[in-house]
Amino acid sequence: MGKITLRNVQKRFGEVAVIPEIDLDIDEGEFVVFVGPSGCGKSTLLRLIAGLEDVSGGVIQIDGVDATTLPPAKRGLAMVFQSYALYPHMSVRRNIAFPLKMAGLPPDEIARKVDAAAKVLNLSAYIDRRPGQLSGGQRQRVAIGRAIVREPKAFLFDEPLSNLDAALRVNMRLEISELHQTLKTTMVYVTHDQVEAMTMADKIVVLNAGRVEQVGSPLELYRTPRNVFVAGFIGSPKMNLIEGAAAAAEGAATIGIRPEHLDISSNAGTWAGTVGISEHLGSDTFLHVHSDHGTLNVRAGGEVGLRHGDRVWLTPQADKLHRFDAKGARII
Amino acid sequence: MATQHSRAAARLMISPAVGVLLIWMIVPLAMTLWFSFQQYNLLYPDRTGFAGWDNYRYFVTDFRFGAAIRNTLVLVLGVLAITTIGGILLALLLDQPFRGQGIVRLLVLAPFFVMPTVSALVWKNMFMNPVNGFFGHIAQAFGAQAGFDFLGQAPLMSVIIMVAWQWLPFATLILLTALQSLDREQIEAAEMDGAGAWSRFVYIVLPHMTRAITVVILIQTIFLLSVYAEILVTTNGGPGTASLNLPFLVYLASIVDNDVGMGAAGGVIAIILANIVAFFLMRAIGKNLET
Ligand SMILES: Nc1ncnc2c1ncn2[C@@H]1O[C@H](COP(=O)(O)OP(=O)(O)OP(=O)(O)O)[C@@H](O)[C@H]1O
Ligand SMILES: [Mg+2]
């Protein structure tokens, strides 16, 4: 249960092809994250899967059954919206019970399931409040509760954490991951936060302008980005991308090296530069080094003794160097 | 927020306006109360002086009083039913995307800008007249001698139709605004939750609109209790007492019967009744306005 397949799926709004053509396989029980810059079509793709938008072409299969023209309710998927989309005039209990009531379940069974969901999500204390009387994190949990009581084939999340503050976001991230471990249901999760993507996903789908740039596990994407876009998008802080003479020396149009794969020394190395701003995080220090190849981001230890204006040399770790051709594709 | 000082200044600044409004309201009310306890009949200018409760007794025991109360209620409730239900339906219709939406919305609003007297006359002469009216013509086209005599046979119903036609745009507009403020994602969430069109309307759309519906009912009730012009230019309260309401009875007493004292008593009774209605309305649905 919970296998979603997209074949040649297209979506146009009038003349604009928001999704030119996408093929995608989401396996049973997988946690798949869609990432990409704003406006690249993540939400649109999710809504196509949910059935809230009609495809302009192609086929969507759920568990091997053609669901392309099925209405949202018949697809057996549950969605958690960015704005939570709770029903403001209903109590938490009635919100969570709503899909069950629509499914025509008997009241005692509804009550049992709602209580169970509320317990799992720590909502029992607020069960009779209205959404307006809850905090952002609690609302988020109600929205998730409304999704899990239906026991759907898959959950769809559209940037569910983007309205929460940083600390709560980390918490909820863990809660959702834990939920996935317990339920083992397929989850499709949209975000533009690549930390969320890296930490939660079994499989990341990197989207750019409606196209799939790469699909793979977080570490695959980190270690072997297929092109410059993925290289620049995955990883924080961003990979250093260098063009020109330094790249030509490696036989590439662009070379990429992650900040953590640059060795820094104050007396010898490949590239010379001066230290600019340094950001001390305690455990790490991120140095912005101005070199002949532009400003390079370097990750050094927390105790590094370098200061603004110091002369330094950088050496890329040869086996961690990424090389890309003129079209931006990875050179193997 | 405001300091003690600025609050005092604010009170001082608005006091002239409050004063004018108070006088504006208090003076006519006081005069009405005063007249209602006086003998004041234009046909008998020599009979003056304190009348006690006589004016009230005459008004309440007038043979038209019972009909007036009944008709007032039927008129208010009838128009409210037509305008809120019709307004919800029209709002749902206008909320759909279609070509020429702007023009249609403007046209729907048009009846509200027509003066009550004018609209009533148009209805009376151009639509409801059994011989020359639009409905009459339709009836004749089907071979009847003359159309249904709306004002003669169903006078109160006819007045209700006219007034409802006038107030429908108001209700539609307010309800449409409420409808447009409904979060699309809530509807989509309900769709995903398996709610069909009817369930979505009952569980999501209607609760979202309760506040707007409350506003429509409250505001309309206040105005509908005092419907007068439409009756004056169409049925004149008749035939008999069939379309007579409370404001019209006050008019008959004070202007036609020339009994200013009794008219004033009727006015005071109308005020009291309106307040009773307002009290119950506020209690029944006013809680929707909270939070
Ligand atoms: N109903 C619509 N009509 C026309 N264009 C639309 C519609 N919905 C989305 N688009 C366009 O489709 C593109 C993709 O939108 P989408 O909402 O999927 O982006 P996104 O990746 O979710 O972005 P974000 O991270 O900002 O949420 C955007 O350029 C947007 O303008
Ligand atoms: Mg989006």
Candidate from A19-28, B193-202, B250-259 with smallest mean pLDDT? B250-259
Q: Ligand 2 centroid to A190 CA: how many Å?
A: 8
Nearest CB among B188, B195, B207 relative to A89 is that of B207
Domain with residue A128: its CATH number is: 3.40.50.300
- Ligand 1 pocket (Cβ < 6 Å) reads A 13, 18, 36, 38-44, 192
Say yes or no: A43 and A171 in one domain: yes
| pLDDT tens digits for range A124-141 | 888 999 998 898 889 989
Residue B161 CA to residue B163 CA, distance in Å, equals: 6
Burial tier of A284 (Cβ tally within 10 Å: 0-12, 13-18, 19+): middle
Note whether A171 and A287 are same-domain residues. Answer: no
- A147-206 residues touching B, CB cutoff 8 A: 150
CATH number at residue A246: 2.40.50.140
pLDDT score at A214: 93
Q: How many whole angstroms from A92 Cα to the centroid of ligand 2? A: 26
Q: Are A205 and A115 in the same domain?
A: yes
Asked if B192 and A78 come within 8 Å (Cβ–Cβ), the reply is: yes
pLDDT digits 0-9 by tens, B127-136:
888 778 888 8
Write out the residue range of the structural domain in which residue A320 sits: 240-324
Cis amide prior to B239 (ω within 30 degrees)? yes
* DSSP-assigned letter for residue A56: S
> What distance in Å separates the CA atoms of residue A89 and residue B203, rounded to the nearest whole number?
9
* pLDDT tens by residue, A97-111: 999 999 899 999 999
pLDDT one-digit tens code per residue, B67-117: 899 999 999 999 999 999 999 999 999 888 888 888 888 888 888 888 888
A89–B186 C-beta distance less than 8 A: no
Asked if the structure places residue B269 within a domain, the reply is no
Task: Report yes or no on A235 lying in a domain.
Answer: no
Q: Do A63 and A207 fall within a single domain?
A: yes
CATH number of the domain encompassing residue B94: 1.10.3720.10
Separation of alpha carbons A183 and B119, rounded Å: 66
pLDDT digits (tens, 9 = 90+) for A200-224: 999 999 999 999 999 999 999 999 9
Ligand 1 atom having least distance to the Cα of A46: 18
Looking at the predicted structure, is the pLDDT value of residue B290 above 70?
A: no
For residue A155, which residues of chain B lie inside 8 Å, CB to CB?
A: none
Report pLDDT for B1. 53
Domain end, chosen from A230, A251, A281, is at A230
Residue B193 to residue A52, Cβ atoms within 8 A: no
Provide the β-strand partners of residue A212.
A207
Taking CA atoms only, the protein residue closest to ligand 1 atom 28 is A39
* Tokens coding A137: 């994190």
pLDDT computed for residue A215 by the predictor: 94
Q: Is A83 on the interface with B (CB under 8 A)?
A: yes
C-alpha A13 to ligand 1 mean position (Å): 9
How much of chain A exceeds pLDDT 70, in percent? 100
- Percent of chain B surpassing pLDDT 70: 97
Residue B78 in domain: yes
- Which ligand 1 atom is the nearest neighbour of the CA of A42? 21
A73 contacts chain B (CB < 8 A): yes
Nearest to B209 by CA among B81, B80, B88: B88
Reference B246, options B59, B80, B117; nearest CA is: B59
From the list A71, A79, A87, the residue facing B186 with the nearest CB is A87
**What's the CA-to-centroid distance between A42 and ligand 2, angstroms?**
6
Name the closest-CA residue to atom 11, ligand 1. Answer: A18
Q: Cβ B183–A85 below 8 Å, yes or no?
A: yes
Q: How far apart are CA A150 and CA A76, in angstroms?
A: 8
Question: ipTM score here?
Answer: 0.83
- Provide CB contacts within 8 A for A94, sequence distance 6+: A87
**CA–CA separation, A331 and A242 (whole Å):** 15
Compute the half-sphere exposure of residue A201: CA atoms within 13 Å on the CB side of its CA: 29
- The rounded percent of chain B whose pLDDT value lies above 90 is 30
Give domain status of residue A308, yes or no.
yes
- Give the helix ranges, DSSP H, for B98-226: 101-109, 116-122, 134-141, 150-153, 155-180, 184-192, 197-200, 206-224
Asked if residue B26 belongs to a domain, the reply is: no
The answer on A61 and A151 residing in a single domain is yes
CB contact B202 to A (< 8 Å): no
Give the C-alpha distances (Å, rounded to integers) separating A221 from A95, A194, A215, A231, A238: 39, 11, 8, 8, 13
Q: A160-169 contacts: CB < 8 A, separation 24 or more?
A: A160/A80, A160/A81, A160/A82, A160/A189, A161/A191, A161/A193, A161/A196, A162/A82, A162/A191, A162/A193, A163/A82, A163/A83, A163/A84, A163/A136, A164/A136, A164/A137, A164/A140, A165/A136, A168/A136, A168/A137, A169/A196
B194 vs A50, A86, A103: nearest CB: A103
What average pLDDT does this structure show over A35-44? Answer: 91
- pLDDT band of residue B258 (cuts 50, 70, 90) is confident
Whole-structure pTM value? 0.81
Please give the average per-residue pLDDT across A38-53, as a whole number.
92
Task: Tell whether A99 is within 8 A of chain B (Cβ).
Answer: yes
Residue B1: inside a domain, yes or no?
no
- Going by C-alpha positions, the residue among A109, A111, A104, A169 that lies closest to residue A136 is A169
Residues A107 and A151 in one domain: yes
In chain A, the N- to C-terminal Cα span, in Å, equals 37
One-letter amino acid at B197 equals A
Which residue's C-alpha comes closest to atom 17 of ligand 1?
A43
- CA of B260 relative to ligand 1 center, distance in Å: 70
Q: Does B291 touch chain A (CB under 8 A)?
A: yes
User: A332 lies in a domain?
Assistant: no
The per-residue pLDDT for B62 is 84
Residue A120 included in any domain: yes
Residues paired with A313 in a beta bridge: A265, A272
pLDDT of residue B289: 61
Task: Tell whether A139 and A187 lie within a shared domain.
Answer: yes
pLDDT at residue number B287: 66
B136 in any annotated domain: yes
Range of the domain at B227: 65-243
Q: What is the mean pLDDT of chain B?
A: 87
From A230, A263, A298, the end of a domain falls on: A230
Question: Number of structural domains, chain B?
Answer: 1
Q: What is the pLDDT of residue B124?
A: 86
Name the domain count of chain A. Answer: 2
Q: What is the pLDDT of residues B55-77, one digit of tens each?
A: 888 888 888 888 899 999 999 99
Mean local confidence (pLDDT), B147-168? 87
Q: Confidence band (pLDDT; 50, 70, 90) for A304?
A: confident
Average pLDDT over residues B194-200: 90
Q: Is the pLDDT confidence value at A183 over 80? A: yes
pLDDT for res B165: 92
Which of A202, A230, A258 is at the close of a domain? A230
* Residue B259 per-residue DSSP state: B
The answer to whether A104 faces chain B, any CB pair under 8 Å, is: no
